[in-house]
Structure formats: C-alpha cells, structure tokens
Structure 1
Amino acid sequence: MIARHSPATPINIAYVVAACAVLNKASPEYDVFRKQCYWYAGLAFRLLVGDDVMRQLQYNGPQRAGEVANFFSVMKEPELDRHARELRPLYEDKLQAIQHEVTERRRKERRAEDAEREAEGARRDAEGARRDAEGARREAEGARREAEGARREAEAAVRRAAEMEIELQKLKELNQGARTSAASVRISSPIFPLLPSSDSNFSFRDQARRPYRPVAPSTKEPACTSPSMSDLLLS
C-alpha cells in the first residue's frame, strides 16, 4: 500500500524511523480501544505518504468483519488526519535530523576509509623505502667487501714485490761474490809455472838440439801435474 502511494522521493528506512520516533514520543502508551496498532499504523502511513491518501482508498472485498475491514475502518477515521497534521512538523524535523546524522556518519566513514587507504598507502611506501634502504645497505656492504678484498690483494702484491726484491738483491750479491772469487783465483795462479828462472842455464836452443825420445805410455794413472805452456796459453 505504501509502495503504491509513495511520493516522488523514494521512502527509505530514515522515513520510517522518523515517523516511528515521533509517534512513540507523542503517544508512548498503548490504548487497546483508542491508540492501538491500527491507530499507530494509520498515523505512520499518513506521515509517510500524505493526509488524503487514506480517504482515496476503497475496499472492494466482501463486507464482513475481520482484520481487513477493521484495518480500513480504523485507518479512515478523520481524527487521524488531525493528529497527522499536528505531528508532521515534528516528523519533518526528525527526518532532517536523521538524514543529517546519516550523512555525517557516512562522511565520517568515508573519511575514515580514505584515511585508512592513505595510511595503507603510506605503510606500503614506508615498506618500499625500507626495502630500498635494505638493498642499498646490502650493495654498500658488498662494495665494502670488494674494496677490502682489493686492498688485501694489493697488500699481498706489495709484499710479494718486496720479497722478490730481496731475493733479487741476494742473487746479485751471490753473483758478485762468485765473480770476485773467480777473479782472485785467476790472479793468484802463476801464468808460466814451468819457466826457469833467469839465472839458470836453461836454453830453448839446447832443448831443441836434443834428440826426440818418445816416451812409452804408462799403465799407471797419471799423477797430478802442472799444466803445460800450451795449455796455459790456450786457456
């Protein structure tokens, strides 16, 4: 019935809550003879859809006593129109208050949702920044380890170069000592150990005039003799 006679503006739960709140405040006590459920329903219906709607309704069913007949008979009482006109300003004020409260609540809920989304976005941004910082820290740690490894390799190369320099200096000293020893040996050895002294009667001419006497080879091992003149000259 309300759907058939509703105004252009759709009726939502706020309209029903406002009508019931006004009726409950105006007539808080239930009277089975005068202010029963039909009376409350008639006033609520008039507040929701208008005063003249109930007078336009026609009941075409069988004329018999029953719930439907009682409903229509009570709902058409002229006294309900007067009560509805008295309660309408209160109903409209209550409806505006409820709508304002609903609007504010929805606005707060939207703000809370927006704040929650912003907080979630900020949390994701902070998490991304933390991951970026952690990645940068790991990269810096890797670079530090690489630099430490390069420094150790450079120190090892310097140590190896110093050790090689020491070894080279030792080899030079050994080579110089060997050369010095060889030179001293050559100087101390006589060049012509078989030449006679100048005051002897030795003569190359007399030696040349002597006949050649071959010497038979000896079976014994030769004793250690001084080198001949030709050996010395050839050396």
Structure 2
Amino acid sequence: MRFPHVPRPRSLAGQLFAMQAVLIAVLVAGYALFTYVSDRSQAEEAARRQTMAVARSVADAPSVRAAIRTSDPSAALQPYALQVQRHTGVDFVTIMNPRGIRWTHPNPDLIGERFLGHTTRALKGESFTETYTGTLGPSVRAVTPIRDGTRIIGLVSAGIKVEAITKRVQDQVTALIGVAAGALTLGGIGTYVINARLRRSTHGMNAAELSRMHDYHQAALHAVREGLLMLDGQFRVALINDGAGSCWG
C-alpha cells in the first residue's frame, strides 16, 4: 500500500528567506507607489507655477500692450507667442481680447476663434490656474489679465498638456523602478547569503525538526546516569546533566 507523499515543510532558513524577500519587495513597492503619487503632485504644482510665471511675464511685456493697440494684433503677437512657447517649455501661449477671441494659438487656423476655458476671474483682475480640456487636450493652464493702466485690454493663457506632465512623471518613475529593482536584487542577494549560512548551521532542518532534535538531545542528556560536564572555549560550563549536578551538590 502506497501512502500519499506529504511535502516536507520548508526549512527554517528557507522560511526566513521567503519572509525577508516578501518584506523587501513590499517595502520597495510601497516606496515606489508613494514616490509616484508624490512626484505626480509635485509635477502638477510645478506646472502651475511655470505657466503662471510665463503668463504674467507675457502680460507685463510692453510690446504686448503695444501690439494690442494696433489694427492687427495677431501680426506681432503670434510670432512672439510662439517664441515664448519654445523658450519656456510650455505647450501653448494664447493671447486674446477681453471677449476671449484668440489673437494667438499654436495652430494658426484657430486664431480668431473663442478661447476654450474660464476667463471670468481674469476679467475681474485675478490671475488663476486650472486644469481644463481645450483644443490641445487636457492641460494645466494659467490665465491672467493684460492691463493698460486700470483697464483690462486682453488676457493671456499659458498651459502645459497633462500628457506632458504624465510623461515627465513616468520618466522619473522608470528611473525609480530601476533603482528599486537594484535595491531589491541586492537585498535578495544579501538575504540569500545570510540564510545560506543559517541553512548550513541548521543542516536544512525546519523549526519542528529543530525542536524535536532539542527535545531528543535533552532527553538523552538527562537519561545518562554518569555525570556529564562540558566547557566552552573560555572554560565556562556550557552543559551539565543531572548526574553531574548531583556530584556538585
């Protein structure tokens, strides 16, 4: 009659290795997730600051106010806006009249059409940022008024596409994953080396086997009638059985 094969429990060293490997993996994954969320938030905040700085610098430029006073503002403002866009790394710089009709746009065919986004707060003299879906897709943009004295003679919106922000974060996360993978590999190697030494010391036995061996050892030791005394390298008592204990009184 054949008895079903019962898998031998994993050795103590193997159990510790598995536990440590899982712990390292969880810590690395948790750190990667936290960093991704944190980097995403920081990237969006950086985009808000960048677009606001660009929009305000355009609104404060004397050449912009001078161009608005001409009969064809787009003639001077369109090349200027494209130049600012290239030099500052934003995806669009849209200059428009107070009614929201564009004087500039990355796509010249859309000049003269209405700006897609909120302008009410800017018309009241306030600068603000928002995330809005326009002609280029979802973007983080800033909107600020252009003033000529006390009058608002136009508006500026500068924006960065959400897709570009996501790409920046993904590049950072890719680098982080490489570092995390290296840390996980080094941690795994270190854990394996330590547990290999433990495996040799325990002869590959699991916790139950080590416990039984200890019980057998104690039972055999105290079953011997003769006194048994063992000293360590410092000549200190390392082991003594009942027989030796009675001799010592």
Q: Higher strand proportion, which one?
A: 2
Higher helix share: 1
Instruction: Indicate the TM-score class for this superposition, using the shorter chain for normalisation.
Output: under 0.3
Structure with higher Rg: it is 1
TM-score w.r.t. structure 1 length? 0.27
TM-score, structure 2 length as denominator?
0.26
